[in-house]
Chain A
């Protein structure tokens, strides 16, 4: 197979049938470049969806409350449902290992000042788990911890842009910021991939906020992530049970869509995963379909070549060529044409993707690319395809009788 002379023979033969090889190779090149382009675009779509989720963990569940829209158990419609620390604890106790991280949230808006700099910011009062739910990256210092919650400490973790706004070129860590007249110590500075708004936030311990803004145990929202070992369907089942139990707990009708709202990202993730895998299958079908057309083209060419070279093959056999050597010439020639054409197609496809990147980005296709594993898989596929394309012609060639060499035409 790695005999240099055999390859010399093959290259001579391809060279002799240059136009024909080129034309047949074209279909394969077209198939592979089409596949590469489609694959890259799908890849880009997947990347877009992935980045859409970087702000929040993909296994997040958000629980919000509102007013009841239906009367239930003798209670009137229009009743405000208010979560408290007890509900947070209830979820934790009730669902135990199904919950990965859980946090309550309180939203407030504050006027913050440091020295002469003043600005208005949103504050989120949270539990320590919130860091993992939001994919918050602590750049300096630390995040809110359990001790802060236990002791109602007046500490805050500020966004990168808050530090920029208030502290200009100096560092915020360890300094005291005035929020609506109360001094808070900055214990950490964070960044977030979710965009500028996410980096203009201030985090403080939940208990501190509850004490200062109302002296109650109310929470505005409870966020959690489900155990990532769960499948999408399990996760969706989990949030359904959770919703049902919470509705019972607050005597809310099961049909009430407004009083307690549970949003599970698993629903969206599932839909997206299904869509992308659907697209992936489609790309494979299209790619393989075109590739099969290419194989037929090459097979056709090889059959023609065998027919055209019948006499030559007969002469070779008369001179002592074994059937095996004839088969390997035809088979390797077919594989070589397929592989070369395939790689040309692959590079064209990758080139097109690379060139079209800026345009595609406008259509929410981010960083489309073809990975190395795809290239390797494509190579193997091409070799197999070439083999299939060459099989029939090679078999035909091996059956040529050397007697044709004596025919005079």
Chain B
């Protein structure tokens, strides 16, 4: 599904440059659920950005679903992001003047689908996250958990190969966090490949594999016994 070889990335800071990723090797198979952990400054966000094609590596190789991701124009990157990736953000990033179903339908809009088809698909995914009754509500009328579920539905809408989550529970209380994790786990059970950045141990333990980063290198890469979120709810 995903293969990364000797990935390097540095950012210029004034005259010098900050070497953030110092040769990362990572490979993720279909159906995996991986947590990327590390303290701030460890490079975990940069790694996620590169995987999410929001940023480009200086050096190294990145192959996603057999497609080498390299020298992307903005337009091409937009198409790849739309086709391959679903994003879940810590702060949900719903568009505040669009209602739930319109938010979910947005990636489909960028795929060029007709409105009717978009709304149909978006409703299907809203149904899946259990919010079909809230379809016409604006984000500020929803609770945090509901917002994140709408965001998940949006990430799923374009039927991506890989779900990328950046601290998906970072803005939620524990109970809601577990609910969301429960839902993400069920997506993984259905076969979705999921990659998430987190710094919470309990959340990381709900994944199947934990990759620990420190100072731009992988310190540890272990498969763990998945803790089912439903057991904690």
Binding site for B on A (CB under 8 A): 4-5, 12-13, 15-16, 311-312, 315-325, 398, 401-403, 405-406, 408
Contact = CB atoms under 8 A, between A and B. Distances in A.
B182 interface: no
27 contacts: A5-B115, A12-B97, A13-B97, A15-B97, A315-B89, A315-B93, A316-B106, A318-B52, A319-B81, A319-B106, A320-B82, A320-B110, A320-B158, A321-B110, A322-B75, A322-B78, A323-B74, A323-B75, A324-B75, A401-B55, A403-B54, A406-B45, A406-B49, A406-B89, A408-B90, A408-B91, A408-B167
A318 B154 contact: no
Nearest to A316: B106
**B interface residue count range (under 10 / 10 to 19 / 20 to 34 / 35 or more):** 20 to 34
Q: Is the interface of A mostly helix, strand, loop or mixed?
A: helix
Closest 6 CB pairs of A and B: A320-B82, A320-B110, A403-B54, A315-B93, A319-B107, A322-B78
B230 interface: no
Given A321-B110, A403-B49, A405-B89, A315 B75 contact: no
Interface string B80-92: 0111000101110
Contacts of A403: 49, 54-55
Interface centre among A16, A320, A322, A323 (most CB of B within 10 A): A320
Contacts of A318: 52, 54, 81, 87, 93
Interface centre among A311, A325, A405 (most CB of B within 10 A): A405
Given A5-B115, A403-B49, A405-B93, A320 B78 contact: yes
Nearest to B84: A320
B123 to A, nearest CB: 17
Given A16-B97, A406-B166, A319 B55 contact: no
Given A5-B115, A325-B110, A320 B79 contact: yes
Contacts of B172: none
Contacts, number: 74
B98 interface: yes
B172 to A, nearest CB: 13
Contacts of A408: 90-91, 167, 170
Interface string B26-68: 0000000000000000000100110010110000000000000
A319 B74 contact: no
Contacts of B109: 5
B159 to A, nearest CB: 12
A312 B79 contact: no
A408 B169 CA distance: 13
Contacts of B107: 319-320
A354 to B, nearest CB: 39
B51 to A, nearest CB: 12
Given A320-B79, A322-B110, A406 B158 contact: no
A191 B34 CA distance: 99
Contact of A320 (B81, B90, B91, B115): B81
B89 A322 contact: no
Contacts of B79: 320, 322
Contacts of B78: 317, 320-323
A179 B97 CA distance: 89
B111 interface: yes
A267 B152 CA distance: 80
A311 B55 CA distance: 16
B129 interface: no
Contacts of B97: 12-13, 15-16
Contacts of B2: none
A398 B79 CA distance: 15
Given A318-B87, A319-B107, A12 B98 contact: yes
B95 to A, nearest CB: 6
Contacts of B54: 318, 401-403, 405-406
A310 to B, nearest CB: 12
Nearest to A398: B74
Nearest to B155: A319
Contacts of B93: 311, 315, 318, 405
Interface centre among B49, B93, B115 (most CB of A within 10 A): B93
Given A320-B83, A322-B110, 4 more contacts: A5-B115, A315-B89, A324-B75, A402-B54
Nearest to A320: B82
A402 B81 contact: yes
A398 B73 CA distance: 13
Contacts of B87: 318-319, 405
Interface in B105-142: 106-107, 109-111, 115
A241 B4 CA distance: 95
A317 B95 CA distance: 13
